[in-house]
A = this chain, B = another copy of it.
């Protein structure tokens, strides 16, 4: 059969959304950047979410943003058909249990046979949501951190790696224990050998991340905050940025100096907060990142690796 050779021999990755929780502009934020987005001077961004496929027919979501319905509707590769309820969507890989990464699963309710991978603390805190979704359709919820990783339809081999321990704010104090609340995924395409590292939430850099980046063809990395104090500058003092669990791009130990050690991979910042000057492609901050070969891309961009 000659058809197999015609298939794209690469991982396809669609950046469905690239903003942090709240999106860009954020509905209740009148900061300078959000105001510029409302005037149409900067591109709007939906909340962070991506889709990955090894064969172009079976697609897996990387997180499930609250904007998922619009993101799926705007992406022809993810459209349903040919049967009235056929869909190329096979499941979701969750990196954490934050509201901006899990709320979109509600939009998928009733879809047949999805599989949702998540780390044990995430599966645990989502128990009520799992029960509710289970009343619409039977889904599988395997442990993303199980030994040996897992294989996805379409020929992708995946491993999960803890990169943070931040517990979502909606979880009552004392109700949960420390653990692998935040993970990154390494996605390798068996056919091409291409490797994606997906880490939209990173609490602190670690040797684990250096090891992942060293073997990656493409890295999607947490670019939430450019500087450690930008929320206090843009919105109000005491905005609690440090407690939000995102390593800034700049500063000692920031992610930019870490990424500079891995020039062999395509490196893309995602999960951009509405206060981040990287949202403005004309800013000196954007130029500084671009000079190191690190990218900030618009929603809808498709990458291959």
Contacts and interface: CB of A to CB of B under 8 A. Distances in A.
A227 interface: no
Given A66-B106, A67-B69, A99-B106, A30 B82 contact: yes
Contacts of A136: 169-170
Contact of A70 (B70, B79, B110, B131): B70
A44 B69 CA distance: 12
A286 interface: no
Q: Can you list the 9 inter-chain pairs with the closest CB atoms, starting with the nearest?
A: A30-B81, A132-B170, A27-B72, A30-B80, A28-B87, A28-B80, A84-B235, A30-B84, A31-B84
Copies in the complex: 2
B89 A73 contact: no
A128 interface: yes
Nearest to A24: B73
B103 A99 contact: no
Contacts of A38: 73, 79
A148 interface: no
19 contacts: A22-B107, A27-B68, A27-B80, A27-B87, A27-B108, A28-B87, A29-B85, A30-B82, A30-B83, A31-B84, A38-B73, A66-B69, A66-B107, A84-B236, A85-B235, A99-B106, A103-B103, A128-B128, A132-B170
Contacts of A109: 99, 170
A84 B128 CA distance: 35
A4 interface: no
B111 A28 contact: yes
A22 B135 CA distance: 16
B107 A27 contact: yes
A170 to B, nearest CB: 4
Contacts of A23: 69, 73
A25 interface: yes
